[in-house]
Amino acid sequence: MKSKFEPNRTTEEYDRQYNLFYLSLHPYIRTKSLMGSKKEEEQDKSKVANIVIYDINNQQSKTLFEQVNEQEVITHFLFETAYDKKEKGMEYNRCYSHKIQNNYDIETRSPLDKLLICQRNLESGKSKLWTANKNGDALLLLAELDKDMEWIVDVYNQKVRTFNRCMDEMKIRDYDW
C-alpha cells in the first residue's frame, strides 16, 4: 500500500495558527548486507509510521502515537489551515480533493483545532481514523474501518462520514469533526 503523502511521501508542514511544525517518521526495514548474513536497517521513506509535532514557541516535541505497530502506516494526515474568502470554503494542508467534500458556502470561521489521521494495516487492509487537537493532545480513535469502507470529510456539516458501497449491506455513519 503506497502512502498518500505525495509526491515524496514525507511531511514537513507548518500550522501557523498554533505555530507547530509536523515532521513524518519513517519505519525501518531490515536488509541483508552484500557480504552475507549481517542485517542492516534503513528507513523506508515510502511509508509514514508516525508524526512528530514540534511546538515552536515552547521548543518541545512529541510523537503523535506513543507506540506504533510496524504493520500500520499513515496514509492521510490533514488539518484545516485557513478560510478562503474567495471560494467561501476551508483550506487544508494537503490537496485531498477526493476526501474533502461539501466545502462551499461555508460561513467565515477560524480553522478547527483538529487533526485527522488515517492509518492502514498493510496485512489486513483495515484502517483506523484518529482525531486529535493540533498539538497532538486528546488523541481519539474515531472509527475502525474494514477494507471495503471509505471515508470523507463533510466540511459544511463538520463531520467525518464513513460508508461502503455494497448493495447487500450499505452502511453510512457520521462522526463529529
Q: Rounded to the nearest 10 degrees, how much is the dihedral formed by the CA atoms of 34, 38, 43, 44?
A: 70
Q: Is the pLDDT of residue 11 over 80?
A: no
Residue 31, pLDDT score? 63
| pLDDT, mean of residues 14-33 | 84
Share of the chain above pLDDT 90, in %: 69
Model confidence pTM above 0.75: yes
Query: What residue segments make up the domains of the chain, in order of their start?
Result: 12-29+42-176
Residue 7, pLDDT score? 38
d(CA 104, CA 155): 8
